[in-house]
Amino acid sequence: MKYIKQLAVIILVCFAGELVRHIIPLPVPGSIWGLVLMFALLVTGAVKLEKVETAADFLIDCMPVMFVPGGVGLMRSWDTLRSMLPAAICSIVLVTPFVMMVTGRVTQFFIEKGAGK
């Protein structure tokens, strides 16, 4: 019963994220809104980590299986994707260092902010 309650909380937050997507006219997926809502609920203490931790750990453990259909879809669409490969490689090579730099700076900011307390 504990797992069902935890999964119900996660599903309700995901559903709330989908509702927010329909209410706020921004091009942000409902899953992202759900992550933001869950983060806010956890930070504020409205939802205690213990109330979702076991179900969340289970979902994270299952995550690799969720990538199988996407990988199979990519393999089946290889003929179509082959023409876009040079552009994809170029964008990956250019964007990856930028993302790493921004992530590092944000992490440094929060580490320094936490050390100051």
- Chain-wide mean pLDDT for the chain? 92
Residues contacting residue 66 through CB under 8 Å, at least 6 positions apart? none
User: Is it the case that residue 80 has pLDDT exceeding 90?
Assistant: no
Q: What is the pLDDT of residues 90-112, one digit of tens each?
A: 999 999 999 999 999 999 999 99
pTM assigned to the model: 0.63
State the Cα–Cα distance between residues 16 and 24, nearest whole angstrom. Answer: 12
Copy the structure tokens of residue 28: 């942000």
Phi-psi region of 66 (alpha: psi -120 to 50; beta: other; left: phi over 0): alpha
pLDDT at 117: 63
State the Cα–Cα distance between residues 82 and 108, nearest whole angstrom. Answer: 38
**What is the helix (H) or strand (E) element at residue 75, kind and residue range?**
helix 53-76
